[in-house]
Amino acid sequence: MRRIFTGLFIAAMAVTSVGCSYGAIAAHDGKLYIARNDSFLMGALRKIYECTPSAGSMACVEVKGKP
């Protein structure tokens, strides 16, 4: 029983420490802006992407120098 609880605790810690979530999606002038917030070091690796949707695909580039 102790092994099960230890395994569940380790699995929960692993899932919450390496996962990322998309915190915000906004649209402006036909483009989508996606903010990727991570849980590592309280968002130290936060990135923002600018995506241009077209028929059947979407091209995304990282926005640098902007918060």
Cβ contacts of residue 34 below 8 Å, gap of 6+? 22, 24, 25, 48, 49, 51, 60
The predicted model gives 36-47 an average pLDDT of 70
pLDDT for 56 equals 83
- Which residue did the predictor score with more confidence, 31 or 66? 31
pLDDT for 19 equals 54
- The residue extents of the domains of the chain are 20-67
Residue 39: closest CA among 64, 11, 14, 67: 14
